[in-house]
Amino acid sequence: MKKSVNGWMVGGFGGEVPLAEAAKTAKDLGYDAIEPCFGAGELAPDASDAALAKLRTGIEKAGIEIASLATGYYWGKSLSSTDESERGEAVAFTEAYLKAARVLGVDAVLVVPGSVDVAWDPARPVVPVKQAYAQSQRSIQALMPLAEQLGVTISVENVWSKFLTGPFEYAAFIDSFQSPYVKAYFDVGNCLINGYSEHWIEVLGSRIKRVHVKNFRRREGGGTLADFTTSLLDGDANWPAIFSALKTIGYDGYLTAEVIVGETGMPNAEQSGRVCGEMKQLIAQYG
C-alpha cells in the first residue's frame, strides 16, 4: 500500500500553497503520493490543459505520484439537488474535474454523490432522501459516458450528508450503474459514527477504488465534527481489523490521509509529517 496525503493538509483549503511546492513538502515528509484538490487556486475549473500539464510536470519533478483528485465543491453545489440549475452546475463542474484528471494522469476523482443536508450550513436545503437518491443517479448517469471515454473513475465517497448511510445501501447505489467507472471512495473515519470500517470494507469489496484514512472518537454512540482527531492513532478505528479487511478484498492501492483538524488549521506540515509516520507504523504492523 502507498502512503498519500490530501492536498488540503499540505497546500491549504484554497490552494494557498503552489501545488509543486505542496508536492515537494509531501515528498519531503515521506509520502509516496499527493491528492490535489480541484476547484480552487491553480486547479480552478477553468484551468487550461496547458496549465494542468505544467502542474503535472511540477509534481513529477518533486518525485511524487498523484493518487487521485478531491474537491470540496459539492457541499455548495450538489449532484442531488432538486434545483435543476444547481444540479446542472454540479454536472458541468464534474465534467471539468474528470477532464482535468485525465490531463494530470489520474484515474480516479472523489465525488460526493448527494446530500440530504449539510449539517454545518443551515442555508443549504434539506432534500428528501428519495429525491436525493434519484437525482444523484441521474447526474452520475449523465457523467458516465465521459468518465468511460476518459478512463477516469467516478469514486463516490461516504460522507456526513445523511446519504448512503450504510454499507449495503452504498454498495447497491454503486451497483445500480453497472459500470467499472463508478466505484467507491471509502473513508475509514467517516463511517465510525454509526458503524465499523472493517464491516463496510467487507460489504463493499472490489467496489472500493480509493481509501481515505482518518480517525474519530465516538461519544455516547455518536459524536460531532469536533470528534475527528488529529492523529490516526487516536480514536475508535480498529486498524488491525481494517487492514485485515483490506487485504481480504485484495486492496493494495493508495491510502490517503485526510486529517484536516488541528489547532493551526491547514496547511500544517508538522501534523502532516506526524500522520505520515503513523501511516508507516500502521502499514509496517498490519499492511
> Can you give the pTM of this predicted structure?
0.97
Topology of domain 2-286 in CATH is TIM Barrel (3.20.20)
**pLDDT of the residue at 41:** 92
Exposed e or buried b per residue across 203-232, where buried means at least 16 C-beta atoms within 10 angstroms of its C-beta: bbeebbbbbbbbbbeeeeeebeeebbbbeb
Indicate the pLDDT class of residue 48, thresholds 50, 70 and 90: very high
Q: How much is the mean pLDDT over the chain?
A: 97
What is the model's pLDDT at position 263? 87
Average confidence (pLDDT) over 114-137: 97
Position 42 confidence tier, pLDDT thresholds 50, 70, 90: very high
Q: What is the model's pLDDT at position 10?
A: 98
pLDDT in tens, 131-160: 999 999 999 999 999 999 999 999 999 999
Residue with cell string 497546500: 11
CA distances from 48 to 18, 29, 45, 52 (A): 16, 30, 9, 6
Residue at 36: amino acid letter: P
pLDDT at 221: 83
Asked if residues 55 and 19 have their Cβ atoms less than 8 Å apart, the reply is yes
> CA-based angle 204:216:221, to the nearest 5?
90
Tally of CB atoms within 10 A around 240 = 12
Give the model confidence (pLDDT) of 197-238 as tens digits: 999 999 999 999 999 999 999 999 899 999 999 999 999 999
pLDDT at 109: 98
